[in-house]
Amino acid sequence: MTEVALPIMSSKRLGELLTLFKEADSVELKLSVPDGDQRSAVAALGMDPLEAQIRQVVFFDTPDLALDRAGVVVRARRVQRRPGDAVVKLRPVEPKRLSPSLRQSPDFGVEVDAMPGGSFVASGRLKAPVDNAHVMDVLAGRRPIRKLFTKQQRDLFAAHAPEGLELDELSALGPIPIMKLKFSPGEYGRRLVAELWFYPDGGRILELSTKCLPGEALNVAAESRAFLGERGIDLGGVQQTKTRTALTYFSEQLSSGG
């Protein structure tokens, strides 16, 4: 097996990461593949596009991204052949500062997202199922945004959003079509998830990810880097985040009247 070096991280950063692992419920290891390498990555990993599920995501924020600056993400998602979902997410979050009642909610979870190069962030997510048709009604202006979210989600929003900002005052940023594929390459021994996001300006982000328990994250990261590196997947490219790219694009469109 080809040796693939792990990113060098300062003792302080490593300590912060290990502390987050202890406080998190899960870890998601993510890698975005540069646009020019996406076709070769699909071939190298044996991905079958016909097995992918079609999804559609819309974010809600102000044109100047006031929610994003406050560390709040509000999102709804339509999913092919199954119910959609609505999410209120806090990112970044310090797990130890969360209220016990929120932390104990079965619908709330803390996850650490880690990317090549040693970057990582913890987020707290409150998720609930939603009818796909209701999301369409919101996008068409037939239903208020708040109706997509449960009382617990609305309370979480109110506690962390900028003072005075209401859900129904937000703008829709999107929607964005997505293809999502879950697959298990034989030699890897774990499930990988590939998400291809199609942005209105023609840009695309292909993200590969795998989830694991916090206690196994370092081993899974090493195994994943070795597996992907052996198949020619670029582990040193500039990492793009799906949410950040979407928020930036649609914020600019709203601000310019596009």
pLDDT of residue 5: 38
Return left, alpha or beta for 257; rule: phi > 0 is left, psi -120 to 50 is alpha, else beta.
Answer: left
Q: What is the pLDDT of residue 258?
A: 62
Helices (H) and strands (E) in the chain, counts: 8, 9
DSSP string of 60-102, one letter each residue: EE-TT-HHHHTTEEEEEEEETTEEEEEEEEESS--GGGS-HHH
pLDDT of residue 3: 34
> What does pTM read for this prediction?
0.91
pLDDT value of residue 6: 41
- Delineate the domains of the chain, giving CATH numbers in brackets: 11-256 (2.40.320.10)
pLDDT at residue 4 in the model: 35
Q: Which of 238, 230, 250 has its CA nearest to residue 36?
A: 238
Segments of the chain scoring below 70 in pLDDT: 1-9, 258
CA–CA gap between residue 215 and residue 231 (Å, rounded): 26
Predicted local distance difference test score (pLDDT) of residue 230: 92
